[in-house]
Structure 1
Amino acid sequence: MIWNETKECMSRDEIVTLQGARLRKMVDRVYHNVEFYRKKMQQMGIEPGDIRGIEDLSKLPYTTKDDLRDNYPFGLFAVPESEVVRIHASSGTTGKATVVGYTRRDIEIWQECVARVLAMANVGKNDKIQVSYGYGLFTGGLGVHYGAENLGATVVPMSTGNSKKQITMMQDFGVTAIACTPSYLLHIAETLEEANALDKIKLRAAICGAEPWTDNMRREIERKLNIKAYDIYGLSEIMGPGVASDCDYHCGLHVFEDHFVPEIINPETLQPVEAGETGELVFTTVTKEALPLIRYRTKDLTSITYDKCECGRTLARISRFKGRSDDMLIIRGVNVFPSQIEAALLEIGETSPHYLMIVDRINNLDNLEVWVEVEERFFSDEIKQLEGLTKKIAHVLQNAIGLAVKVKLVEPKTIERSEGKAKRVIDKRKLV
C-alpha cells in the first residue's frame, strides 16, 4: 500500500527538481536566521545565491552532533521559540542532551512520513497498533503515535516494559500491529509462547527499529509470530522515526527524499562515494522549520541505490547498516558512548580508569555489563562493602546513560591493557 503516490513515485528528475527548490529556500532561511550557519558559510565564502540546486550540495558545510551540543539548547533553531510547539532530546557523550524542536508544520510532516511507513507495512485505518516504544523526550513513542493517528489507525499507547500487560492488551483489544524494538518483540514472542497464547492474538505486522538488527532476526520474528516485520529508521536530529523504511520486498529502506536529501561520503576524506559503495550516511533536511540541518553526519555506515523498487516506489534506498564510523552503541534504543561510562566512573573516585563494556543479547534483550577495576583492598574487606560499591557504581552509571547496567568489580590488571587504542567494548550481539 502506497500512502502518497504523488511523492513516493516521482521520476528522478522530478525528485531532483523538488529537492533543489526546497534546498534553495532552506539555505536562504538558515543563512538569515541561524548565526552558526551564517558564520560557517561566510568562512567558506558561500552565499545563499551560490546554491542553485541539489548539485551544489557539496559546497555547503557539514553539521555534526557536537555542533548541536555546542549550541545547546536552542542555538540552531531557525524560528522564534514561540513557534516551537514541541521539544525532544536524546542523551549524548556529555551531560548535555541533543535538543531538537518542532513547529506545527514540522509535526505535520512527521505525521505524514510515519503514515507512509505504516502504509508500507500494510497498516491502515482498520488496524489497531500497539506503540511499545518509549514515550517522553525519546522521539520513538510519540513519533509513531501521531503518524498512526494521521493514518487513521487506532492507537494503543503502551510505551515500554510490563510484558504481561503488553500481552493482555494485545489479546483483549485485538491488536493487529505493533511498533517496538526488534529485541523486545522477540521477548514478547517468547512470553506469548510460554503462556500458550500465540493463537489468541490477531497480530499481523510489526514496525521495528531504534536498534540494529539483522535479516535473520526479522525472519525469526516472522516465524515465531506468523507476521510480517518491517524495518523503520530515523534519528531525532533529522526528525525521529520515519526518515526511511523498508517495504514488502526488504531490498533496502526507502528514504523520503522530498524531505530528507541523503548523501553517502567517505568518512575519512569526506568526499562523496559512488552509488552502491559503503560510506557514512549524511542528511540535509529541506522542509524542517524549527531545526533545519545541512549535511548532518549520522555516523551510520551504509550504501545507497536509486533504482526503482519492485513495490513501485522510486525513492532512493539505503542498505541495512554495516556499523558506525564512531564508537557509539545502540542498546535497547538508547545511544551509549564509552566516554559516558568513563566520565561517570571518574566521578566516583573509588575505581581505576580501566573498564570494559560487554554487550550481549540474552533472551532476545540487549544487556550491558560493565567490568570495573577497583583497588585490591576492596577484595579483602567485607562482602557487604563490595556489594555497596557495586550498587553505587550501577546507580551512577544508570543515571549517566539512562539504562540499567550490570556491574562486575574486578581486581587490578584484570582488564587487558593495549599499547594502542584501549579496547573498551566487546559486542557479542550478532548484528551482521
Structure 2
Amino acid sequence: MASYPGCPPPQDHAPGTQPTGAVPHPRWWERKGVRVTALATLLAVSGAVILALVREQTGTEGFLVGLGLAVLPVPLLISAFRWLDRVQPGPWRNLLFSFAWGACAAALIAIVANSFATRWIETATADPTGADTLGATVIAPVVEESAKAAAVLLVFLFRRRDFTGIVDGVVIAGVTATGFAFTENILYLGNAFGTDQLTGTGPGLTSVTAATFFVRIVMSPFAHPLFTVLTGIGFGVAAVIAPDRGRARRVLLPLAGLLAAMGMHAFWNGSSSFGEYGFFAVYAAFMVPAFGLLTWLAVYVRHRELRTVRAELSAYVVAGWLAPPDPFALGSLKARRLAREYAAYYGGKEAEAAVTEYEAYATSLALLRHRGRKGRAGADFVVRERELLEALWERRHHARPALAYASQVAAPMWRPPVYAGPMPHVPAYNPYRY
C-alpha cells in the first residue's frame, strides 16, 4: 500500500504487537538513569566509608591537617590536565566522575585490599618487615593501578564519544590518579601529624609532617598521575583502532599500559630499599625524565590534533558548511581565544558560549572525519557527522565574525588556502533546509 505525504505509513504488524525491526525497550537495569543512580550511590557510599576509615586512622585533628595540606596540589594538577585538553575539552561530568572514583572508590579498594594482603603475608611468614616491603612493592602497585584503571575503562566503555584518542586517555587517567593521591596524602599527612603529636615535636622543618609534605606534595605530586597515565595511553591508542579491526590489540594495548603503570609504581615504591640515597637516585634518574617524556608526548599529540583540525575542515569549506577563515582559526589556540573574547565583547555571554560550543563541535567534526578517512570511525559516522554539522550551522551567526576577526589578528598576512585534495563524502550544503 502506498503512503502519501503527511500520512503515517501502513502498518505491517498486528495491532498491539511490536513492529518488525523495532528496537526493544531496554530492561530496567540497562536504562541510563538507573546506571547513573547506581554509580552515584556507589561513589557516595565509598566516600562516606573512606572518610570514616581515614578519620579513624588519623584522628579528627590529623584528618583536618592532612586535608588542608593534601588539597594544595589538586588545583594545579587539574588545571594542567584541563590545559592539555583545550583542543577538544571533555565534559566536566567525566572529570568529576574520574576524580570522585579515584578519591573514593579506588582509595577504598586500595586501603582494604592492601591491609588484607599485608596482614595475610605477615601471618603466613611471621615477618612484619618483609610483609610491609612486599606489600608496598608488589601488592600495592597491582591493587592501586587496577582500581584506578577501572575509571578509565568505564569512561572508555560508556562515554565512547568523549574518548577519542591519547589525550582523552591521559586526562581521564591523570584526573583519576589525582583524586586517589589526594585521599592517600590525607592519610599519610594525618598520620605524620599524629606521630609528631605523640613525640612532642612541634611544627617545623624537622617534623615528620614537614618531611612528608616535602616528599609527597613538593617533590612528587605527579607520581600517581604519572603511573596511571600509562594506562590512559594504552586506552587512548586502543580508541583510535577501528571497532571491526584489531580486536586483540584493542584489548592488549590497555593491558600493556596497565602493566607498565604497575611496573613503574613498583619501581618507585621500592626505591627506598635501594640504599640511603636510593629514593633520590630513582627520582632524578627515572621519575623526572619519565615525567618530561610523557609531558612532551601529550603536548605533541595536542599540537597534532590542531594540525588535523586545520587540514580536515577544509573540505567543509568547499562544500559550503564553513567559512574560509574557520579552519585556520580553529587550528590555533591563540585564534580560538581571540574569537571567544571578540564574541564576549560584542555579543555578551550568549555569543561567547555559542563560539565556545562552535569550536568544540568543529574539533569533534575534524577528528571524526580524520578517523573516518582512515577507516576507524564507527557505524554511526554519517549520523554523527550530520549532527555536528547542524550544530555548527545553528551557531554560525555568532561564530563566523568572531573567527574571521581572530584569523586576521592571529596572522594578518594569512589568506585562505585553495583546497586541492581529494573530496571524499561530504554532506551537501542545502540552504533551503535551514
TM-score by length of 1: 0.26
**Which structure is higher in helix share?**
2
**Which structure is higher in strand share?**
1
TM-score by length of 2: 0.25
